[in-house]
Amino acid sequence: MTVSDGLPTEAFDHALSTVDEKAAVALVRGLLDDGVDPLSVLVDVIARGQRVVGERWQRGEWTVAKEHAATAVAISATKEVDRFADLVPVTRGRVVVACAEREWHALPAMIVGAAIRLHGWEVVLLGASTSPARLSQCLHDVGPDATAVSCSVLGAMSTTRRFIEASTTAGIPIMVGGSAFGGDDRRARALGATAWAPHAHGAVDALRDLPAVVRRVPPLPRSLMAEHSAIEINHHDLVETLRARWSATTTNGPVTEVSREVLHQALHAVSVALLTNDPRPLPETAVWIDHLLTARDADPGLSAELGVVLASTLRDYPVAHTLVQRHWTEGLVLQGEPVR
């Protein structure tokens, strides 16, 4: 059976939304028993269902608590595929699968780990938010053939770079993926990753083509790193300044619940644009903020206003300031017209 043959995605979504762990696990078990490709179960049923969960949170329909509960169900469903994968003999090498520090989205790493295991690799899965020092220790102890890192949030991209440094310093190739990398390999290449893939299917293929040994990554461009580091060090002060200047946080409107998170995300987008020399996290984040706020009945101009406030707050960081001025509003629709 393939996706087009109609996987029971609605039934899985129902199990997630009603937090019915038994139903979700039984559904996955049934698919596996019926001979459905387990990789398709992971990607087209479980990961797809989780993205729907995220959209519900983004639209303000679900609380973070509900998101957590649904994720626990998806984790149980993934473990069912894991049990199936454990029956596959280990015929290839060993892979350490991890989330960088500050990355709490553990499920994408679990899903990729299960996909790799299904293809005969031995998988050592580290949990969410692992420190670079702990990763180095693990690489030393386990001696894997490859490292795989999952990064869903922009705030964990700089620690992902430190993972890349740790892995390549040990000569071990490192594959990266996750939504923070966007839809192509530009950010992954800029950070020095050996390979990138957009989904679990691609992860399996990319792993097969990795070199046996790699060189240590060269340092990132100094000009961009100086500003990036200064912004990271001053992150909390900058958030406070933005909070004092942006009207969404100075009034007690319906968006207060998410507005603080939004400020962190905006600054993370600036950091990643500097770190990877890719400006796209800025318009992507501006649009994400716009959707988040307008779903909560906020003034549609608030994301554009944040761009202005952000640019002025970052006036002492010339590259960041210019990036925000040029790119923040690229994807926003202002007064009915897309901004060009």
Give the footprint of ligand B12 on this chain (CB under 6 A): 43, 47, 50-51, 53-55, 57-58, 64, 67-68, 71, 102-108, 111-112, 148-150, 152-155, 175-179, 197, 199-200, 203, 261, 265, 285, 288
Closest distance of CB 144 from ligand B12, Å: 13
Q: Which helix (H) or strand (E) holds 246?
A: none
Shortest Å, Cβ 150 to ligand B12:
3
Q: Return the amino acid letter for 65.
A: A
Alpha-carbon span 76 to 25, nearest angstrom: 7
Query: Which residue number, 57 or 169, has a Cβ lying nearer to ligand B12?
Result: 57
- 3-state helix, strand, coil split of the chain in percent (to 5) is 65, 10, 30
**Alpha carbons 52 and 55: distance in angstroms, whole number:** 5
Distance, CA of 300 to CA of 302 (rounded, Å): 6
Q: Smallest gap, in angstroms, from Cβ of residue 37 to ligand B12?
A: 13
With a CB cutoff of 8 Å and minimum separation 6, the contacts of 126 are: 96, 97, 98, 99, 134, 135, 138
Rounded-to-integer distance, Cα 236 and Cα 94, Å: 39
Least distance from ligand B12 to the Cβ atom of residue 124, Å: 14
Task: Return the number of the residue (55 or 316) whose C-beta is nearest ligand B12.
Answer: 55
Residue 137 has a CB neighbour count (10 Å cut-off) of 12
Q: State which residue, 95 or 309, has the beta carbon closest to ligand B12.
A: 95
Indicate if the alpha-carbon torsion angle 140, 142, 143, 144 is positive or negative. Answer: negative
> What are the phi and psi torsion angles at 279 (to 5°)?
-75, -10
Nearer to ligand B12, 153 or 255 (CB): 153
Is 36 or 47 the residue whose CB approaches ligand B12 more closely?
Answer: 47
Please say which residue, 54 or 301, places its beta carbon nearer to ligand B12.
54
The angle at the Cα of 247, spanning 301 to 274, to the nearest 5 degrees, equals 75
Q: Which is nearer to ligand B12, 10 or 205 (CB)?
A: 205
Give the shortest CB-280-to-ligand B12 separation in angstroms.
12
Least CB distance from residue 253 to ligand B12, whole Å? Answer: 19
Answer left, alpha or beta for residue 101, where phi above 0 means left and psi between -120 and 50 means alpha. Answer: beta
In whole angstroms, give the CA distance from residue 77 to residue 57. 21
CB of 206 to ligand B12, least distance (A): 6
* Closer residue to ligand B12 in complex, CB, 65/87: 65
CB of 258 to ligand B12, least distance (A): 8
Rg (CA), the chain: 21
